[in-house]
Amino acid sequence: MTVTGVPRSKADQVADTLREEIKKMQPGERLPTQRELVERFGFAGQTVQNGLAILRAEGAIVSAGNMGNFVSGEPQGDKDDELKEIRSQIHALTERLEALEARLEPGRT
C-alpha cells in the first residue's frame, strides 16, 4: 500500500520488489527468467512482463531478447535503453494484438 492508502498495481509490486533486489546486484548480472518470476510472485506472465517494462523504462535493467533481462550498467535515461524499451513494448503489443485477432477469427491458428 502507498501512503495515500491506494494499493499498488501488481506490476508496480513486481517492479518495487525487483528494484530493491537490483540495488544489491552488479551491472550485467542476470535477473531470474520471466517464468521464474511468475512462479515466485504468483502473478500472470503479462503482469510480470509489465513490471519488468517499468524497470526497463527507468533504465534499471536492459533486455537481451531471449537471453533475459540484465542489471543495467548504463546511466538511467540512456537513449539506447529507451529505444530497447519502445521495441519491447511494440513487440508485446503485437503479440497481444495477434492473440486477440486469433480469438475473433474462427479457424485462424
> How confident is the model at residue 3, as a pLDDT?
52
Per-residue pLDDT of the chain (109 residues; tens, 9 = 90+): 445 566 789 999 999 999 999 999 999 999 999 999 999 999 999 999 999 999 999 999 999 988 999 999 755 445 666 777 787 888 888 888 888 888 887 765 5
71 membership: H or E segment, kind and range = strand 69-71
| HSE of 96, CA atoms in CB hemisphere, 13 A | 11
Is residue 60 classed as helix, strand or coil in its secondary structure?
coil
Query: Of the candidates 82, 79, 81, which has an alpha carbon nearest to the alpha carbon of residue 70?
Result: 81
Q: Is 13 left (phi over 0), alpha (psi -120 to 50) or beta?
A: alpha
> How confident is the model at residue 2, as a pLDDT?
47
pTM, two decimals, is 0.63
Virtual CA dihedral for 78, 21, 9, 2, nearest 10 degrees? -100
> How confident is the model at residue 84, as a pLDDT?
74
